[in-house]
Amino acid sequence: MGCRKLLVLYTGGTIGMQMSADGLAPASGFEARLRSQQALEAQPLPQWSFAELLPPIDSANMNQHNWLAMVAAIRTGIERDGCDGVLLLHGTDTLAYSAAALSFLLLGLPLPVILSGSMLPAGAEGSDAWGNLFGAMRALQAGVTPGVHLYFNGALLHGARVSKLRSDAFDAFHVLPRQRQSARAESIPARIDYRQPRQPVNLAVLPFYPGIQASHVRALLDSGVQGLLLECYGSGTGPADDAELLSVLKAAHARGVVLAAISQCPHGHVEFGVYAAGSQLASAGLISAGGMTREAALGKLFALLGAGLSQAKVEHWFALDVCGERAD
């Protein structure tokens, strides 16, 4: 059955931007614009209430505090106001990151959440804004499975699998066919469901590249990082002949830092045992993200570490598929 009462949660982004002296900038007042545009729609839409996170932001400024504020607003709309579905309006630059993070922060929520936005502001000539917004509303009205999704350019996409691949066209978001083989969690424990409070986490992402030095990695890890996502070559390889670099990773893991690996290849996945170089990284303490995207792996690390789980528990749940992020 479809949603009857929606929460429309506005966070800013291109969809609501208006021209300022410095160019397009986030703006409040989007509810009135939305209601005026809805009056022009021929097809009926579900009832909705409106909330906005203030101040509205350009999604290039998105951070963990914003994600936690979104979760709090979603819970209020559902638990206090009786909404049975959520449409979250968001800028496109970090839309895939937020969709992934919310996929893990809202584990166990028995209702659908759709994120959407636009490449051009609402009201601009030829904009995709109203099509995306009302398309997402109608999808929720027709019925969407519980969990987090992204609606863009007529497509409903899995929130923990999507990436932004284009900045110059309306079909900016896609789900790449990355291999996802992992055991599925039988249930979601209370420690990581959507009612669990979270705290900000010091996370970092670092790509391997020819010439990377152990001192670079050490400096990053010495900054207090709790979780490091390493973007490896191919199926999970790196400079395994650099004994100092491996020693830096082993020392970090020994003091409790969670080390996770994704593939730099858009169609790749991590499988450490294929090459000896990958096996060396695994022996240094890295865990495989399989075919997860950067967005999904980062969001999952945040949700697990932010819940206060131990290193061992984080590694356990990171290796399992909890919402379709690791297995088809």
Highest mean pLDDT among 10-19, 231-240, 250-259, 272-281: 250-259
Q: Residue 54 sits in a domain of what CATH number?
A: 3.40.50.1170
Query: Does the pLDDT of residue 312 top 80, yes or no?
Result: yes
pLDDT at 272: 78
Task: Looking at the structure, tell me whether residues 199 and 168 fall in a common domain.
Answer: no
Q: Which phi and psi angles does 267 have, rounded to 5°?
A: -110, 20
Whether 14 sits among the annotated catalytic residues: the reply is yes
**How does residue 10 score in pLDDT terms, banded at 50, 70 and 90?**
very high
**271: domain range?**
190-318
Structural domains in the chain (count): 2
Question: What are the b/e assignments for 73-109, b being 16+ CB within 10 Å?
Answer: bbeebbeeeebbbbbbbbbbbbbbbbbbbbbbbbbbb
**How does residue 19 score in pLDDT terms, banded at 50, 70 and 90?**
low
**How does residue 82 score in pLDDT terms, banded at 50, 70 and 90?**
very high
Query: Is 228 inside any structural domain?
Result: yes
**How does residue 275 score in pLDDT terms, banded at 50, 70 and 90?**
low
Residue of 75 and 28 predicted with greater confidence: 75
**Among residues 290, 303, 321, 289, which one has the least CA distance to residue 179?**
290
Give the end of a domain, one of 144, 175, 206.
Answer: 175
**The one catalytic residue among 14, 94, 237, 293:** 14
pLDDT tens across 156-198, in order? 999 999 999 998 899 999 987 766 666 787 788 899 999 999 9
Partners of 207 in the β-ladder:
231
Task: Looking at the structure, tell me whether residues 140 and 204 fall in a common domain.
Answer: no
Partners of 149 in the β-ladder:
114, 158
Task: Looking at the structure, tell me whether residues 164 and 36 fall in a common domain.
Answer: yes
Query: Is 61 inside any structural domain?
Result: yes
- Residues contacting residue 220 through CB under 8 Å, at least 6 positions apart: 204, 206, 228
Query: Are the beta carbons of 52 and 28 closer than 8 angstroms?
Result: yes
Please give the average per-residue pLDDT across 124-129, as a whole number: 92
**How does residue 328 score in pLDDT terms, banded at 50, 70 and 90?**
low
Task: Looking at the structure, tell me whether residues 50 and 158 fall in a common domain.
Answer: yes
Dihedral sign, Cα of residue 216, residue 217, residue 221, residue 226: positive
Q: Which phi and psi angles does 10 have, rounded to 5°?
A: -100, 125
Question: Per the structure block, which two tokens stand in for 61?
Answer: 């400024």
- Residues contacting residue 292 through CB under 8 Å, at least 6 positions apart: 160, 178, 180, 262, 300, 325, 326
Residue of 316 and 282 predicted with greater confidence: 316
